[in-house]
Structure 1
Amino acid sequence: MNLDFDVSKHSDQIIAWLTVNGIDLLMALLILLVGIWFARRVRDAAQGTLEKREVDILLSNFVGNVVFYVLVLTVLIAALGQLGVDTTSFIAIVGTLGLAIGLAVKDNLANFASGVVLILARPFTVGDYISVAGVSGTVKNVTLGNTVLSTPDNQKIIVPNTKITGDVITNATANNTRRIDLLIGIGYGDDIAKAKSVVQGLLEAESRVLDDPAYTVAVSELGDSSVNLVVRPWVKTEDYWGARFDLTERIKLALDENGISIPFPQRDIHIVSGGES
């Protein structure tokens, strides 16, 4: 088999083609470069306008990306048309390839569709702390395929969007206020009214506890080894964990100072010795 390549012959052909089509090639490249630059400017302008109108960042990013890719595709078709390519056939080929690729990556397309649903429905946004699909974390980004979460210990979790739209979503930071639920057990021999007064005093002194809605301190149940009090103050969402940790510690110390016990489960074992037979 003769694998010799006639460089001079092909060079002549290339030069001849460039002589005839060189201007069209330069114009096509110019259309492509200017078009991509213009598409980026339009995308940035669209995102900036939406953000100024306080549109959710996920929706503004989605709209910007859609605008960008539509314009880039339009510019590519225009550049090919400048080179004399039959764009009608090109569009048909692109459509056929799109169908074939779609059948091959149907799972990715499902994630894409779910991403569109998440961006338009907006059950959460960047910065929200959510629990979904068995994981929890702060939303860092939502793409058309995945949602990226960051856990409190700084792990990165990537969740396919279909897992999210098909599951229950708990958004812990969707509202401005949250209720802290504490269960405090005191001994059966302790003064319930005194214990409630001690806890109420701590809540009144805590600046992060809101006046409205009002807090609750009440007996919830008579447990096996303790009288259980529910302590339910309301705080701003951003103060939730700090207030919860501080109140838990302060309630324990205050009850100790006032001689009120916090019992723990225990068992009394009675050993009965049998007489000699």
Structure 2
Amino acid sequence: MNDIVKKYTEIGLQLGLDIGTKILGAIVLWIVGRVLIRGVLRLLDQATKVRKIDDTLARYLHSVASVLLNILLIVTVLGVFGVQTFTFAGILAAAGVAIGLAWSGLLANLAAGVFMIMLRPFKAGDVVTICGTMGIVHSIGLFVTAIDTFANERVFIGNNKIFTEIITNHTENPVARLDIKVQLPHGADVHKVIKILEEKLPKADHAVSDPPPFIEMTGVSAAGPTLVAHSYVDSRKYPWALTAANLAVYAEIGKLGYPIPAQEVVLRGELGRLATAKADDVRGFAQV
């Protein structure tokens, strides 16, 4: 009896020692692997900087390398526990096919990300409007593109969705044009306003003097003459330039002392009498 107990005890100790050794080896391998992966990714980042590779492509390569190296590390760690890596690779491939069929959208996003890197409709740092979202491109990932809005929010948009929408790149060209609508009241000196805006708009923040701004009269509305001021600005500062130009227009119109444009409404007949009666009631209430 004692021999049997001793035998099973030895087997248990040996089994525990083997499992403990494998667990310890796997932990050490994981830690060392993670350190090596960080080192490789750091070297990759340095290499892309030395070769002056575009930030967008550099970040994409970093993402791809990170995913592949971590998968390789997981397979290696599983090999420590005796899992056949070839069997695991087969299982992983089969699972990939099944997941791909179920989540075809992810594969579409992946393919779209590759094409965006190749076609380069925009790059990291560009100011863009995509799917109704305006902001600065932070990165193009394997499946999604990250955009930092001017409200300091990070928006993630699926790469495939981007390819099905209109992409507006505000910084592709060095100079962008702003179109600012100006509503003047009746009786305003249109020629004077045009001359002042042509002089002041190039002095607004982020504006450029070449080409010079031009202002056109587009018509006369019920409130008065309507102008559109076309100002050229640094495309990299598009949102801030738009705000600065609007402020400049508002300030100059205010200096001229024109009243706020308003549409005059004349009520006749019964509606006019009712409106007059209500106005008298309001004045009487105010006097009380």
Q: Give the alignment's TM-score, normalised by structure 1.
A: 0.75
Q: Structure 1 residue 152: deviation in Å?
A: 3.0
After superposition, what is the alpha-carbon deviation per residue over 1:167-213, rounded to whole angstroms, capped at 9, x for unaligned?
Answer: 11122344332222122233454433223223233235547432211
Q: Which structure 2 residues correspond to residues 180-195 of structure 1 after superposition, within 5 A?
A: 180-195=178-193
Amino acid at match of 2:251: R
Q: Structure 1 residue 66: deviation in Å?
A: 2.0
SS in 2 for 1:175: coil
Report the equivalent of 1:15: 14
Higher helix proportion, which one?
Answer: 2
Contact 1:39/1:67 (8 A) holds in 2: no
SS in 2 for 1:114: helix
Report the equivalent of 2:207: 209
Contact 1:112/1:145 (8 A) holds in 2: yes
Report the equivalent of 2:234: 236
Amino acid at match of 1:195: V
Candidates 134, 141, 144, aligned match of 1:143: 141
Q: Structure 1 residue 95: deviation in Å?
A: 1.6
Report the equivalent of 1:50: 48
135-144 or 158-167, larger mean C-alpha shift:
135-144
Amino acid at match of 1:250: A
Q: Structure 1 residue 166: deviation in Å?
A: 1.3
Candidates 45, 64, 67, aligned match of 1:66: 64
Identity within the alignment, %: 25
Report the equivalent of 1:3: none
After superposition, what is the alpha-carbon deviation per residue over 1:137-160, rounded to whole angstroms, capped at 9, x for unaligned?
Answer: 333443323333343334443323
Report the equivalent of 2:249: 248
Q: Structure 1 residue 25: deviation in Å?
A: 8.1
Residues 173 and 265 of structure 1: CA distance in aligned 2, closer, same or farther (over 3 Å): farther
Residues 205 and 26 of structure 1: CA distance in aligned 2, closer, same or farther (over 3 Å): closer
Contact 2:202/2:213 (8 A) holds in 1: no
Cα RMSD over matched residues?
Answer: 3.6
Report the equivalent of 2:284: none
* Residues in 1 aligned to 2:169 and 2:212: alpha-carbon distance in whole angstroms: 23
SS in 1 for 2:256: helix
* Residues in 2 aligned to 1:19 and 1:262: alpha-carbon distance in whole angstroms: 86
Contact 1:43/1:65 (8 A) holds in 2: no
Structure 2: runs of 5 or more not aligned: 272-288
* Residues in 1 aligned to 2:181 and 2:24: alpha-carbon distance in whole angstroms: 75
170-179 or 209-218, larger mean C-alpha shift:
170-179
Structure 1: runs of 5 or more not aligned: 1-5
Contact 1:185/1:262 (8 A) holds in 2: no
* Residues in 2 aligned to 1:10 and 1:119: alpha-carbon distance in whole angstroms: 61
Q: Structure 1 residue 15: deviation in Å?
A: 0.9
Report the equivalent of 1:223: 221
* Residues in 2 aligned to 1:192 and 1:158: alpha-carbon distance in whole angstroms: 46
